[in-house]
Amino acid sequence: MADLTELGVAAIRDGVANGDFSAVEVAEAFNANVAAAGELNAFIVATPDAALDAAKATDAKRAKGEALGKMGGVPIGMKDLFATRGVQTSAASHILEGFTPEYESTVSQKLWDAGAGMLGKLNLDQFAMGSSNETSHFGNVVNPWKRNDGSDAALAPGGSSGGSSAAVAARLCPAATGTDTGGSIRQPAAFTGITGIKPTYGRCSRWGIVAFASSLDQAGPMARDVRDCTIMLEAMAGFDAKDSTSLELPVPDWEAGLSADMKGKRVGIPREYRMDGMDADVAKSWDDGIAWLKDAGAEIVEINLPHTKYALPAYYIIAPAEASSNLARYDGVRYGLRDLPEGAGLQDMYAATRAAGFGAEVKRRILIGTYVLSAGFYDAYYTQAQKVRTLISHDFKNAFNECDVILAPTCPSAAFALGEKTNDPLSMYLNDVFAVPASLAGLPAMSVPAGLNREGLPLGLQLIGKAFDEQGVLNAGLALEQAAGFSGKLEKWW
Amino acid sequence: MSEYRIQGATGEWEVVIGLEVHAQIKTNAKLFSGAATEFGAEPNTQVSLIDAAMPGMLPVPNEECIRQAVRTGMAINAQINKYSRFDRKNYFYADLPQGYQISQLYHPIVGPGAIEVILDDKDPEGSTKTIGVERIHVEQDAGKLMHDQHPTMSYVDLNRCGVALMEIVSDPDMRSPAEAGAYVRKLRSILRYVGSCDGNMEEGSMRADVNVSVRKPGEPFGTRTETKNVNSVRFVMQTIEHEANRQVDVIESGGAIVQETRLFDPNTGTTRSMRSKEDAHDYRYFPDPDLLPVELDDGFLESCRNSLPELPDAKRHRYETNLGLSAYNAGVLTAEVETARWFEHLLNHTAAKQGKKESEVAKQAANWLISELFGALNKVGTDLAASPVSPEGAAGLLALIGNGTISGSIAKQVLEMMIETGDSAADIVEREGLKQESDTGAIEAKIAEVLAANEDKVAEYRGGKDKLFGFFVGQTMKAMQGKANPQVVNELLKKLLG
């Protein structure tokens, strides 16, 4: 039998449904890949039995002639930010190490209900704060891609969904969940040559996802291609009364609507994203993308997003502000780590627990967030940042009068080496410069592999759509994908 | 009412008071979770995953809490804000699992309104004063720390955590402990009429933060202190009295008032410092990103308005003008919603039983309720809420008085027996043979006996000592064992003595 781990979501779903192979065979194949990929450190916890149990249930359903779900027989990786009943949910932090929830996040439950099974909990940047997966308490993830210069340097898989991106790229799972606050799905997808979409804010319930920045956090799928992402997003999305910010809209049949025909579509190219000193390969891949969409029938229009340069500073005020408050609940009182020094009082316990339980990047953001919300600074920082956020939304609204979807690079560069930016938070933050505006505006945005750079590393192109127009984003993504012909083949070294 | 002044060594001082009343919204579920809110449950048995702030949990507003806050605002003629928003108030404490309280700082649901208070209960026709209400906002309560369960550790009970509160913030309009007391009582009355809070201060459903400052009359406001969580009207008044005198003493001995948070000690009736402004938290308020703004449409507001009952001021006015009750009686009957409800049932049954209009029996019913029933219930240590006599049963008693079957004094005995046995007035009168005698023949016979036995007094009366008339009435009633119709006795006596 062919290697089942070479198959994606749609192929597995259809193969299981047709009886070409069983769901259990699929689960066993991926379980074996997970077990053999310790060097990548993509998983914090592997759950082979959970994958097998779900697969058996799917096979049993098929034997009885029952309909299988959208994700029937597809084993997936679950970012360890989603609460999973009975399985450690750590957010890659020490403070939640050993925390095992008695509840299941809405999104993961929907995936299990659709027939998916869980291969394990995927590594990430601690509390989803980071762009390289180096802030995890459980060690960094290694990108399965290597440069072609023979240097063998270990590369970052991107972040925060770095375990998800590495696992999908390395065929440890056909798809994985991600979450995106300021690029955490799109940037790692770009760094590892896979596809990932952050839907419109509110499409996927946040209930049961460890919060980083509530007004920005959004779950989405990461998979090998556009169709796989489409199928999985359909399973993940939908209104949830338990999340007040959830969108009360039906989930369209995006898969049925998939079309690479761009005739009559206008693709916007934002002038402000073409920055001085832009990486030549990134610029070239952007030009390729423009040409491909033109070939697919689209009209290309130049657009302006004048407040782009303020997006990153505004993001690094709003996200830490919300995080500083969201992370206050990790205090050692009710669950998770408690450090209670001899003779300590309540304040000492807070200090000791939080000093030991949070990593450096998380502390940095809590400090920034606390500072910008403080009396006397609130208006200068938080209020200003919110105004910028509104202006950025207006930029997009105006731009979408002239175009249907926006094309831009996902990141300013290909994957960087582990350790390269660890001591330079600002250059790390700059990685998200193209990703953050869509997050601030709550718009659907996707990264699709566009080819390799001169070092042999994948580059991603980003599509940003109108609110609720995931279909437009997915279709443009499909057009790019078909034109790019990116295979995602990499040499297995682990 | 005379002005309340503190006599200091340097002259008179005026007290300025503002109150922040926290009223627990009467609902079955908490503000942002489905957990129950029953008082007195075992610790940590009314805690949802949201209340315990488990990772990834999200608040969902309870619409009933919003509705009750809006109705309360309407009841004090306040501005209802169609757009309001929840903010986070950030601070660390073990009884606050989220590390922040969800409250409304920037955009409260209810804006300015007012409450009219009568300054002296005993003198309802005396002066009234309008106390401004700056705002009402909705927020979460915190849990409770228990320090007496373990020698070295504190325990946490999260049952109250997330319970919905209305914070009702007054303007600094009060000038005496009595005014503050009247304001709290009136506010409590309105909340109970509206049904948005049970007003039970002992159970903590209503408590006040008391802001007090002093100044020489006519001068600008002084620095204020805030005494937290005072949980009875009497304690609110004691807090003000103590705090105002303390402040005058401090200032007059050359000191200055520090803006600080204080605690009231009910055992000593004094306040002490809890934390000063320097130690005050920086709460880092910001809009809660887990929650959308609260936007109220006209239909919702309309249904809130339509659901409001007749409120105490309107009711009191109606009792005076339509029912012809005295201002005092109207005030007593409308102060508590339960009393008014009881009275209106009584009125309804009384009018029906006697075949009269409500306005014709209102005075009788009101007088009887206030001067007879309250006293009788009090005597057996109970109150109207637990009264063994129902409004319908009481109407039966009033009907017997109205049609002359029994006298007022016999009615007192009957009422006592009703309370004791739960039997109806008619049954008791029948069983005990308490029917009033109106048969002139029987009464005349007794009067003849009385006059015969007191010939000297009859002579004195006829000689002009009119005052003795009452003596003959008393003797006749005694001889009739109280069962004679007093009107008939009067008439016959006049005839036979005349």
Q: Min CA distance, B220 vs chain A (Å)? A: 26
Q: Identify which of B55, B99, B289 has the shortest CB distance to residue A214.
A: B289
* pLDDT tier, B464 (very low <50, low <70, confident <90, very high otherwise): confident
A397 within 8 A of A355, measured Cβ to Cβ: no
Both tokens of B64, joined, read 């009933």
Q: Do A325 and B284 touch (CB under 8 A)?
A: yes
Q: How confident is the model at residue B1, as a pLDDT? A: 44
Both tokens of A171, joined, read 């065929």
Looking at this predicted complex, what is its ipTM? 0.96
Q: Do A335 and B100 touch (CB under 8 A)?
A: no
Q: Min CA distance, B164 vs chain A (Å)? A: 17
User: Are residues B42 and B152 located together in one domain of the fold?
Assistant: yes
Q: Identify which of B56, B92, B291 has the shortest CB distance to residue A105.
A: B56
Nearest CA in chain A to B94: A333
Cis, peptide link before residue B48, omega less than 30° from 0? no
Q: Min CA distance, B372 vs chain A (Å)? A: 55
pLDDT per residue, tens digit, chain A (494 aa), is 679 999 999 999 999 999 999 999 999 999 999 999 999 999 999 999 999 999 999 999 999 999 999 999 999 999 999 999 999 999 999 999 999 999 999 999 999 999 999 999 999 999 999 999 999 999 999 999 999 998 899 999 999 999 999 999 999 999 999 999 999 999 999 999 999 999 999 999 999 999 999 999 999 999 999 999 999 999 999 999 999 999 999 999 999 999 999 999 999 999 999 988 899 999 999 999 999 999 999 999 999 999 999 999 999 999 999 999 999 999 999 999 999 988 888 999 999 999 999 999 999 999 999 999 999 999 999 999 999 999 999 999 999 999 999 999 999 999 999 999 888 888 888 889 999 999 999 999 999 999 999 999 999 999 999 999 999 999 999 999 999 999 999 999 99
Residue A120, strand partner residues: A46, A77
A contact test, residue of B31, B44, B58 with most A CBs within 10 A: B58
Q: Do A378 and B284 touch (CB under 8 A)?
A: yes
User: Are residues B341 and B294 located together in one domain of the fold?
Assistant: no
Residues of A in CB contact (< 8 Å) with B are: 82-83, 89, 91, 96, 99, 101, 103, 105, 206-211, 213-215, 241-245, 321-322, 324-325, 327-329, 331, 333-335, 346-347, 350, 370, 373-375, 378, 382
Q: Identify which of B53, B93, B286 has the shortest CB distance to residue A373.
A: B286
Nearest Cα to Cα of residue A305 among A269, A267, A275, A270: A270
B106 Cβ neighbours under 8 A, 6+ residues apart: B85, B87, B285, B287
* Type of residue at B47: V
User: Are residues B125 and B162 located together in one domain of the fold?
Assistant: yes
* pLDDT tier, B496 (very low <50, low <70, confident <90, very high otherwise): confident
Q: Identify which of B57, B59, B92 has the shortest CB distance to residue A331.
A: B92
Q: Do B55 and A105 touch (CB under 8 A)?
A: no
Nearest CA in chain A to B102: A325
Query: Other CB atoms closer than 10 Å to residue B45's CB: what's the count?
Result: 12
Who has greater pLDDT, B492 or B169? Answer: B169
Q: Do B99 and A213 touch (CB under 8 A)?
A: no
Domain count, chain B: 3
Q: Is the pLDDT of residue B125 over 70?
A: no
User: Are residues B354 and B297 located together in one domain of the fold?
Assistant: no
B2 within 8 A of B163, measured Cβ to Cβ: no
Assess if residue B456 is contained within a domain: yes
What distance in Å separates the CA atoms of residue B284 and residue A381, rounded to the nearest whole number?
12
Structural domain boundaries enclosing B364? 310-432
Q: Do B99 and A325 touch (CB under 8 A)?
A: yes
What is the 3-class SS of chain B, one letter each residue?
A: CCCCCEEECCEEEEEEEEEEEEEECCCCECCCCCCECCCCCCCCCCCCCCCCCCCCCCCCCCHHHHHHHHHHHHHCCCCECCEECCEEEECCCCCCCCCEEEECCCCCCECCEEEEEECCCCCCCCCEEEEEEEEEEEEECCCEEECCCCCCCCEEECCCCCCEEEEEEECCCECCHHHHHHHHHHHHHHHHHHCCCCCCCCCCCEEEEEEEEEECCCCCCCCCEEEEEECCHHHHHHHHHHHHHHHHHHHHCCCCCCCEEEEEECCCCEEEEEEEHHHCCCCCCEECCCCCCEECCHHHHHHHHHCCCCCHHHHHHHHHHCCCCCHHHHHHHHHCHHHHHHHHHHHHHHHHHHCCCHHHHHHHHHHHHHHHHHHHHHHCCCCHHHCCCCHHHHHHHHHHHHCCCCCHHHHHHHHHHHHHHCCCHHHHHHHHCCCCECCHHHHHHHHHHHHHHCHHHHHHHHCCCHHHHHHHHHHHHHHCCCCECHHHHHHHHHHHHC
Q: How confident is the model at residue A69, as a pLDDT? A: 95
Q: Which of B382, B416, B432 is the last residue of a domain?
A: B432
Q: How confident is the model at residue B495, as a pLDDT? A: 85
User: Are residues B371 and B340 located together in one domain of the fold?
Assistant: yes
Nearest Cα to Cα of residue A196 among A446, A460, A468, A458: A446
Q: Min CA distance, A201 vs chain B (Å)? A: 12
Angle at the Cα of B131 (from B126 to B132), degrees rounded to 5? 155
Q: pLDDT tens digits for A203-232?
A: 999 999 999 999 999 999 999 999 999 999
What distance in Å separates the CA atoms of residue B258 and residue B223, rounded to the nearest whole number?
7
A334 within 8 A of A96, measured Cβ to Cβ: no
Q: Is the pLDDT of residue B279 over 70?
A: no
Contacts of A374 in chain B (CB under 8 A): 282, 284
Contacts of B286 in chain A (CB under 8 A): 321-322, 325, 373, 378, 382
Q: How confident is the model at residue A1, as a pLDDT? A: 60
CATH number of the A4-258 domain: 3.90.1300.10
Q: Min CA distance, B286 vs chain A (Å)? A: 7
Both tokens of A94, joined, read 């020490």
CA distances from A354 to A46, A80, A82, A94, A298 (A): 27, 20, 21, 10, 52
Q: Which of B432, B453, B482 is the last residue of a domain?
A: B432
The average pLDDT across B421-443 equals: 85
Q: Identify which of A207, A331, A346 has the shortest CB distance to residue B58.
A: A207
Residues of B in CB contact (< 8 Å) with A are: 49, 52-61, 88, 90, 92-94, 97-100, 154, 156, 282, 284-286, 289-292
Q: Is the pLDDT of residue B349 over 60?
A: yes
Both tokens of A409, joined, read 């690079």
Report domain extents, chain A.
Answer: 4-258
The average pLDDT across B318-331 equals: 95
Nearest Cα to Cα of residue A209 among A175, A174, A234, A245: A245
The average pLDDT across B215-224 equals: 95
Q: How confident is the model at residue B26, as a pLDDT? A: 96
Nearest CA in chain B to A371: B284
Look over chain B and give the mean of its residue pLDDT values, rounded to a whole number.
Answer: 93
Q: How confident is the model at residue B277, as a pLDDT? A: 65
Q: How confident is the model at residue B467, as a pLDDT? A: 87
Q: Identify which of B55, B97, B282 has the shortest CB distance to residue A374.
A: B282
Nearest CA in chain B to A95: B55
What distance in Å separates the CA atoms of residue A462 and residue A411, rounded to the nearest whole number?
8
User: Are residues B218 and B316 located together in one domain of the fold?
Assistant: no
Q: Rounded to 5 degrees, what are φ and ψ at A274?
A: -85, 90
What distance in Å separates the CA atoms of residue A419 and residue A117, rounded to the nearest whole number?
34
User: Are residues B139 and B192 located together in one domain of the fold?
Assistant: yes
B contact test, residue of A333, A346, A350, A362 with most B CBs within 10 A: A333
B354 Cβ neighbours under 8 A, 6+ residues apart: B360, B361, B398, B399, B402, B403
Contacts of B94 in chain A (CB under 8 A): 331, 333, 346
What distance in Å separates the CA atoms of residue B325 and residue A88, rounded to the nearest whole number?
71
Q: Which residue has the tokens 């295979």?
A: A487
Look up the CATH number of the domain holding residue B473.
1.10.10.410
Q: Do A245 and B291 touch (CB under 8 A)?
A: yes
Q: Do B55 and A350 touch (CB under 8 A)?
A: no
Nearest Cα to Cα of residue B412 among B397, B399, B423: B397
Nearest Cα to Cα of residue B371 among B320, B333, B419: B333
What distance in Å separates the CA atoms of residue A490 and residue A145, rounded to the nearest whole number?
7
Contacts of A331 in chain B (CB under 8 A): 92, 94, 99
Q: How confident is the model at residue B124, as a pLDDT? A: 62
* pLDDT tier, B388 (very low <50, low <70, confident <90, very high otherwise): very high
Q: Do A378 and B99 touch (CB under 8 A)?
A: no
Residue B474, strand partner residues: none
Assess if residue B1 is contained within a domain: no
User: Are residues B416 and B488 located together in one domain of the fold?
Assistant: no
Strands B83-84 and B294-295, how do they pair?
Answer: antiparallel
Which residues of A does the annotation mark as catalytic? 79, 160, 184
Nearest CA in chain A to B99: A328
Nearest CA in chain B to A351: B92
Q: How confident is the model at residue B121, as a pLDDT? A: 67
Contacts of A99 in chain B (CB under 8 A): 55
Q: Identify which of B53, B55, B92 has the shortest CB distance to residue A350.
A: B92
Q: Is the pLDDT of residue B443 over 90?
A: no
Q: pLDDT tens digits for A425-479?
A: 888 888 899 999 999 999 999 999 999 999 999 999 999 999 999 999 999 999 9
The average pLDDT across B404-416 equals: 88
User: Are residues B124 and B211 located together in one domain of the fold?
Assistant: yes
Q: How confident is the model at residue A442, as a pLDDT? A: 98
What is the 3-class SS of chain A, one letter each residue?
A: CCCHHHCCHHHHHHHHHHCCCCHHHHHHHHHHHHHCCHHHCCEEEECHHHHHHHHHHHHHHHHCCCCCCCCCCCEEEEECCECECCECCCCCCCCCCCCCCCCCCHHHHHHHHCCCEEEEEECCCHHHCCCCCCCCCCCCCCCCCCCCCCCCCCECCCCCCHHHHHHHHCCCCCEEEEEECCCCCHHHHHHHCCEEEECCCCCCCCCCECCCCCCCCEEEEEECCHHHHHHHHHHHCCCCCCCCCCCCCCCCCHHHHCCCCCCCCEEEEEHHHCCCCCCHHHHHHHHHHHHHHHHCCCEEEEECCCCHHHHHHHHHHHHHHHHHHHHHHCCCCCCCCCCCCCCCCHHHHHHHHHHHHCCHHHHHHHHHHHHHCCCCCHHHHHHHHHHHHHHHHHHHHHHCCCCCEEEEECCCCCCCECCCCCCCHHHHHHCCCCCHHHHHHCCCEEEEEEEECCCCCEEEEEEEECCCCHHHHHHHHHHHHHHHCCCCCCCCCC
Q: pLDDT tens digits for B70-120?
A: 999 999 999 999 999 999 999 999 999 999 999 999 999 999 999 999 887
What distance in Å separates the CA atoms of residue B268 and residue B273, rounded to the nearest whole number?
14
Q: Min CA distance, A404 vs chain B (Å)? A: 28
CA distances from B265 to A3, B145, B212, B235 (A): 77, 18, 16, 9
Q: Which of B411, B432, B453 is the last residue of a domain?
A: B432
Assess if residue B192 is contained within a domain: yes
Q: Min CA distance, B99 vs chain A (Å)? A: 5
What distance in Å separates the CA atoms of residue B26 and residue B200, rounded to the nearest whole number?
11
Nearest CA in chain A to B158: A334
User: Are residues B449 and B409 located together in one domain of the fold?
Assistant: no
Q: Do B286 and A382 touch (CB under 8 A)?
A: yes
Q: Min CA distance, A208 vs chain B (Å)? A: 4
What distance in Å separates the CA atoms of residue B97 and residue B33, rounded to the nearest whole number?
14
What is the 3-class SS of A211-276, one letter each residue?
A: CCCCCCCEEEEEECCHHHHHHHHHHHCCCCCCCCCCCCCCCCCHHHHCCCCCCCCEEEEEHHHCCC
Contacts of B92 in chain A (CB under 8 A): 328, 331, 347, 350
Q: Which residue has the tokens 């803006």?
A: B259
Q: How confident is the model at residue A423, as a pLDDT? A: 84
User: Are residues B206 and B279 located together in one domain of the fold?
Assistant: yes
A31 Cβ neighbours under 8 A, 6+ residues apart: A46, A48, A51, A52, A75, A119
Q: Min CA distance, B39 vs chain A (Å)? A: 23
